[in-house]
Chain A
Amino acid sequence: MSFNRRDFLKLTGLGAVSAVAARAAAAFPFFGGAPGAVKAETNAKTAKRWAMVVDLTKCKENCTDCIDACHTTHNVPDFGDDKRHEVKWIWKEPYKQSFPDQENEFLKDDLSERRVLVFCNHCQNPPCTRVCPTRATWKRPEDGIVMMDWHRCIGCRYCMAACPYGSRSFNWLDPRPHIKTITPDYPTRTRGVVEKCNFCDSRLAQGQMPACVEACKDRALIFGDLEAPDSPVRQILRERFSIRRKPELGTQPQVYYVV
């Protein structure tokens, strides 16, 4: 039997590949799981379709209570003047830029210079989850929340290209040094993953309302179940005229604006 150079190279190559594969498999222990049972919390707030109504007639122009509450609760970093690396879950944009399809040269005075609260729309037909190559972002079938799994996200940023609302942020740098006070109850993120508003899924699970809703003293943020006919969101949508951002794209945003 002859063992020539080619066989040797093949064998060492195979060895190297299997070593790398073994190492990779060890890094992803997808075999085995915990023996015990799991269940949902009993006092969790649940809904068939969560939705938010932003009452612009009540939202005060210079108030940032909801933004501060959200960003503190979720350890959202503050990059100051470094707009390129900015991370934000909820913020204010001029009316004309939030609603480009409502463009109107002669708009009501109080709207034309108005800055509007924007955040993830938790679309019923979200383009961002469709494009994700690892299912790191998905729409929860139970209640319609568009979730993020920061353990699984590979940071390809395809979801950011697909979101028509600019609701997603990427961690270009390690966020930790840019968080003023860390809230230990909630994880920070690591560099290289995408993040966004998740309708406070972990607060809902503990029976609490979203941080922004709780923080709003003027009751301009109304949160509830769209499938429940007597929910506060349904009530206000029945009585007041509301609009949604870029409805022509068919994404069906679950954030409504009362103007």
Chain B
Amino acid sequence: MLEKALQGGPKYWLWMILLAAVIGAGSLCYYTQLIYGLGITGMSRDVTWGLYIAQFTFLVGVAASAVMVVLPYYLHNYKAFSKITILGEFIAISAVIMCLLFVIVDIGQPMRAVNMVLYPSPRSILFWDMVVLNGYLVLNVVISRVTMGAERKGVKPPAWIRPVIVLSIPWAVSIHTVTAFIYCGLGARPFWLTAILAPRFLASAFSAGPALLILLCLLMRRLTKFDAGDEPIQKLSIIVAYAMAANVFFVALELFTALYSASPEHIAPFQYMFLGLEGKHKLAPWVWTSQSMGILALVLLIVPRTRKNMRILALACIGLNIALWIDKGMAMVVTGFVPSPLGHVTEYTPTPPEIMIAIGIYAIGLFILTGLCRIALSLRGQLEA
């Protein structure tokens, strides 16, 4: 089945070669990082996680969001999602692979990564994250492979796949809950030490992911013969709106608890995020961009007239993803380290090689996603526009 990804016109190949070139550039930067050490990044003794772990956190959400199409389709038999469920699974596969790659590039001794398997440590949340992420990858590869294989032969998928699909639903929730647990179980970091973190992660995931899926559908409508149809897109946009509303509500809850209790250690990180501390405020413009774009996108998604306009919907989905990419990525991760446990305010700026490595990993994800979509479309004979 994979050979279908090897058939395509010049435009397809040009795109793939472009991605391969970006991957190559990222790999060169990663090679430099291997030789030189993680000192090549902007991270420091005080801010020990940065761009990589931020992308990891955001993409776990994207991966988990496949459940928002899988659940209505398989549990509630919502037929409108029949054509796009496979796309949700493809996004999940490429997002999980990107997640794993972002963890690999972040660790100081990647050659020893296998130590996590040789010396399993169930007390570490990172151990469980490895288990659930790899499990989720396997689940989605198996599910998409089997359902697509059945579709090619024009038969019903085998019966044993249904329990596997049902299992993938709570599993998707688990990957993001466990990822939140990495952060919210640390007494040392008051900013992350909040029970709302996992629900907030899920809410933002269930809006960012389906929003990406909408964008993918609209893009494929323009570039290929595949048309998801207006109904599933509209249904998705409602899911995006509700999830985003929940997310904004959760953020407001956090702000209230921190600000009204006036506990200094809870206020300080928020102060750094929005206003800066000790005259250091590199993150603030990003956070304000994120907050305003998020609110604007939410309004556009709630008002039926704007939501139903495909152009505005596309813009809202782009804005929403930028907002959540900042909010859940850099803002969430970096602010946890500011101020440091000793009260120091150290700022973090990713370096060019660090950014290139991250772009390289995104290119790998896009490469995989493009190839997978290509396979699905060629099976359905919906290639060219």
Q: Using CB atoms and an 8 Å cutoff, list the residues of chain A in contact with chain B.
A: 5-6, 9, 24, 27-28, 30, 83-87, 93, 96-98, 100, 118, 127, 130-136, 152-158, 160-166, 169-174, 191-194, 249-251
A143: min CB distance to chain B, Å: 21
Task: State how many angstroms separate the Cβ of B142 from the closest Cβ of chain A.
Answer: 16
Taking CB atoms and an 8 Å cut-off, the chain B residues in 99-134 that contact chain A are 103, 106-116, 118-119, 121, 123-127, 130
CB distance from B191 to the nearest CB of A (A): 11
Residue of A at shortest CB range from B344? A97
Q: Select which of B37, B48, B130 is within 8 A of A191 by beta carbon.
A: B37
Kindly list chain A residues whose C-beta atoms are within 8 Å of the C-beta of B108: 153-157, 170-171, 191-194
In addition to A85-B44, A133-B130, A154-B115, 18 A-B residue pairs with Cβ atoms within 8 Å of each other are A9-B2, A84-B45, A133-B116, A134-B112, A134-B118, A135-B121, A152-B115, A153-B109, A154-B112, A155-B107, A156-B126, A158-B126, A162-B188, A165-B188, A172-B44, A191-B108, A192-B38, A192-B109
B118 close to A172 (CB less than 8 A)? no
Query: Is B336 touching A161 in the complex (CB atoms < 8 A)?
Result: yes
B163: which A residues are within 8 A, CB to CB?
A: none
A19 to chain B, nearest CB (A): 16
Q: Is B253 an interface residue (CB 8 A)?
A: no
Q: Is B170 close to A, CB under 8 A?
A: no
Q: Is the CB of A134 within 8 A of B116?
A: yes
A50 to B93, CA, bound (A): 49
- Say whether B346 faces chain A, with CB atoms less than 8 Å apart: yes
Residue contact B341 to A83, C-beta cutoff 8 Å:
no
A91–B343 Cα distance when bound, in Å, is 15
Total interface residues on B, using CB and 8 Å? 48
Q: State in angstroms the CA–CA spacing of A154 and B49 once bound together.
A: 14
Is the Cβ of A156 less than 8 Å from the Cβ of B107? yes
Are the CB atoms of A83 and B107 closer together than 8 Å?
A: no
Residues from chain B with Cβ under 8 Å of A135 in the complex: 119, 121
Scoring B residues 71 to 103 as 1 if CB is less than 8 Å from chain A, else 0, what string do you get?
Answer: 000000000000000000000000000000001
How many contacts A-B (CB < 8 Å)?
A: 143
9 A–B contacts, CB within 8 A, in A order: A97-B342, A127-B188, A131-B186, A134-B112, A134-B115, A153-B112, A155-B38, A161-B189, A191-B37
Pairwise interchain contact B341-A166, C-beta atoms closer than 8 A: yes
Expressed in whole angstroms, the Cα–Cα distance for A174 and B124 within the complex equals 28
B264 to chain A, nearest CB (A): 8
Q: Spell out B's residues near A (CB within 8 Å).
A: 2-3, 36-39, 43-46, 48-49, 103, 106-116, 118-119, 121, 123-127, 130, 182, 185-189, 265, 336-337, 340-344, 346
In the complex, the answer to whether B43 meets A172 with C-beta atoms within 8 Å is: yes
Q: Which of A87, A135, A154, A166 has the largest count of B CB atoms less than 10 A from its CB?
A: A154
- In Å, the complex CA distance between A44 and B288 comes to 59
- Which B residues touch A132, using CB under 8 A? 121, 124
Contact of A154 among B36, B37, B116, B343 (CB under 8 A): B116
Nearest Cβ on chain A to B192's Cβ, whole angstroms: 9
CB–CB A192/B107 < 8 A:
yes
Distance A232 CA – B265 CA, assembled complex (angstroms): 36
Question: How far, in whole Å, are A7 and B111 apart by their CA atoms in the complex?
Answer: 31
Q: Which residues of A contact B115 (CB under 8 A)?
A: 134, 136, 152, 154
A158 and B114 form a contact (CB under 8 A): no
Shortest C-beta distance, A28 to chain B (Å), equals 7
In the complex, what residues of B have CB within 8 A of residue A157's CB?
A: 48-49, 108
Contact: B342 with A166, CB < 8 Å?
A: yes
B186:A161 contact, CB within 8 angstroms? yes
List chain A residues, Cβ under 8 A from B127.
133
Nearest A-chain residue to B1, judged by Cβ? A6
Which residues of chain A come closer than 8 Å to B343, judged between CB atoms? 96-97, 100
Closest residue to A172 on the B side, CB-wise? B39
Closest residue of chain B to A25 (Cβ to Cβ) is: B114
Query: Which residues of B have CB within 8 Å of A166?
Result: 45-46, 340-342
Residues of A within 8 A of B36 (CB): 173, 191
Least CB distance from B361 to A in Å reads 17
A154 to B126, CA, bound (A): 12
Decide: B3 and A5 in contact? CB cutoff 8 A.
yes
One of B106, B109, B118 near A30 (C-beta < 8 A): B118
A27 CA to B188 CA, complexed, in Å: 36
Q: A100-B343, A152-B119, A158-B124 are in contact. Are A85 and B188 (CB under 8 A)?
A: no
Indicate if the CB atoms of A164 and B109 lie closer than 8 Å. no
Most buried by B among A27, A127, A166, A171: A166
Task: For the complex formed, measure the closest distance between the CB of A68 and the CB atoms of chain B, giving whole angstroms.
Answer: 20
> Chain B contacts of A173 at CB under 8 A?
36-37, 39
Do residues B45 and A170 form an inter-chain contact, with CB atoms below 8 A? yes
Give Cα A173–Cα B110 distance, bound, in whole angstroms: 15
**CA gap between A96 and B342 in the complex, in Å:** 9
* B49 lies within 8 A of A161 (CB): yes
How far is B188's CA from A163's CA once the two chains are assembled, in angstroms?
6
